[in-house]
């Protein structure tokens, strides 16, 4: 992944501070990924229906507004592509499944937010989420809380940790306590404890990426 270090990194360490919305917008604009771009990821999902967290490795694709792809490589192979409001899931040994995104308004809003984040589109992102930006240079944290009732029913918040123009972790916290933490880029290769714990993941996300 190309590091676009256009952001002027302050030389002196400053205390963590909540910054005005315009700074958040400026940061989000810097987050814009080139089209197309691909990044490896590791995802840990904590689901209350399951006794143990599930770990997944693969690659994420970003092909421009509304076009997302997720390729699972471990522990099974699956390709999911989202384009023009429709999801297509290809799982090894199974027939391809399609379903329109509008069947799941919360998923639709989530993916719209995700796409806006990857596109550096602060305006769209603000339509969907309340954005809190904590700048602890060179690290920063974006906390996104959904506006929409449909999305709020399921999703509490999304936390994006990163440094400079690079996001490192996407953490999804659901209302029912389920959570999913996605380690991106170089962090995708991090060694995880077995079974992975939330605190271990938090620690990885707080680390400044090399």
Partner 1 sequence: MSVAARRALLIGSWLALAALALFVRHALVIDSDLRRFMPPAANADQKLLLDEIGDGPASRLLLLAIGGASEETLAPLARGLALKLRADAHFARVLDGQADPAALDPALLPYRYLLSPTLDHAAFDSAFLRSELEQRIQDLSSPGADMLEELLPRDPSLEVLTLAQRWTPAKVPITRDGVWFSPRGEALLLAQTHAPGFDPAAQAAALDALQAGFDALPNSGSARLTISGPGYFSVLVGASTRAQAEWLSAFGTLGFVLLLLFAYRSAGVLMLAALPLLSGALLGIIILMLAFGSVHGITLAFGFTLLGVAQEYPIRVFSHRRADVGASASLRAVWPLLRLAIVSACIAYLAFFASGVTGLQQLAVFTISGLLVAGVVTRWLLPLVMPSHFRDAADMAGLESARAWLAALPRPRWLPWILLAFALALLWLAPTPLWQNDLSALTPVPPALLVREGELRDALGAPDVRYLLVLDAASADAVLDVSEKISPQLDKLIAAHAVDDAELPSRYLPSLATQHSRQARLPDRATLTAALDAALADLPFQPGLFAPFIDDVEKARALPALTPAEFAHSPFGARLEAMLVQRDGHWLGLATLTGVHEPAELAALATANPGQVRLLDLKGASESLIAQYRARILQALGVALLLLALTVAAAFRDLRRAWHVIAPMSLATLLVLAVLRISGVSLSLFHLVALTLAAGLGLHYALFFERKVENAAEGRRTLHATLVCVLSAVMVFGLLATSSLPVLRAIGLTVALGVAFHFCLSILMAQESTTPTVEK
Q: Is residue 117 part of the contact set for partner 1 (CB under 8 A)?
A: no
CB of 27 to partner 1, least distance (A): 24
Determine the 3-state secondary structure of 42 from DSSP: strand
CB of 56 to partner 1, least distance (A): 5
Specify the DSSP class assigned to residue 51: S
Q: Is residue 107 part of the contact set for partner 1 (CB under 8 A)?
A: yes
Among the residue ranges 26-34, 103-111, 128-136, 137-145, the one whose residues contact partner 1 (CB under 8 A): 103-111
- Looking at the Cβ atoms of 23 and 59, the one nearer to partner 1 is 59
Given candidates 30, 45, 67, 132, which one binds partner 1 under the rule CB under 8 A? Answer: 45
Among the residue ranges 3-11, 15-23, 69-77, 127-135, the one whose residues contact partner 1 (CB under 8 A): 69-77
- Looking at the Cβ atoms of 24 and 128, the one nearer to partner 1 is 128
Among the residue ranges 32-40, 41-49, 122-130, 163-171, the one whose residues contact partner 1 (CB under 8 A): 41-49
Q: Is residue 110 part of the contact set for partner 1 (CB under 8 A)?
A: yes
Q: What is the DSSP annotation of 125-193?
A: HHHHEEEEEEEETTEEEEEEEE-SHHHHTTEEEEEEEEETTEEEEEEEEETTS-EEEEEEGGGGG----
Residue 188: how many CB atoms within 10 A of its CB? 18
Nearest to 169 by CA among 128, 129, 204: 204
Buried b (16+ CB within 10 A) or exposed e, 54-84: eebbbebbbbeeebbbbbbeeeeeebbbbee
d(CA 141, CA 163): 8
CB of 81 to partner 1, least distance (A): 12
Given candidates 23, 59, 106, 148, which one binds partner 1 under the rule CB under 8 A? Answer: 106
Determine the 3-state secondary structure of 16 from DSSP: coil
Taking the chain, what is the end-to-end CA distance rounded to the nearest angstrom?
13
Residues that bind partner 1 (CB under 8 A): 43, 45, 47-52, 54, 56, 70, 72, 76, 78, 80, 84-87, 89, 91, 94, 100, 102-104, 106-107, 110-111, 154, 174, 176, 178, 180
């Amino acid at each position: 992944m190309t590091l676009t270090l256009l952001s002027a990194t302050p030389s002196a360490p400053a205390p963590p501070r909540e910054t005005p919305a315009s700074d958040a917008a400026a940061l989000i604009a810097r987050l814009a990924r080139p089209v197309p771009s691909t990044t490896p990821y590791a995802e840990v999902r904590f689901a209350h229906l399951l006794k143990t967290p599930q770990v997944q490795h693969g690659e994420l694709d970003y092909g421009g507004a509304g076009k997302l792809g997720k390729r699972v490589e471990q522990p099974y192979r699956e390709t999911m592509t989202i384009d023009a409001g429709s999801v297509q899931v290809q799982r090894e040994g199974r027939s391809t499944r399609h379903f329109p995104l509008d069947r799941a308004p919360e998923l639709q809003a989530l993916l719209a937010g995700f796409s806006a984040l990857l596109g550096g589109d602060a305006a769209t992102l603000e339509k969907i989420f309340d954005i809190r930006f904590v700048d602890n240079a060179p690290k920063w944290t974006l906390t996104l809380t959904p506006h929409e009732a449909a999305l709020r029913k399921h999703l509490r918040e999304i936390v994006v940790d990163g440094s400079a123009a690079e996001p490192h972790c996407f953490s999804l916290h659901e209302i029912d306590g389920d959570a999913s933490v996605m380690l991106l880029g170089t962090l995708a290769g991090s060694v995880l404890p077995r079974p992975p714990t939330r605190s271990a993941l938090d620690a990885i996300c707080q680390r400044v990426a090399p």
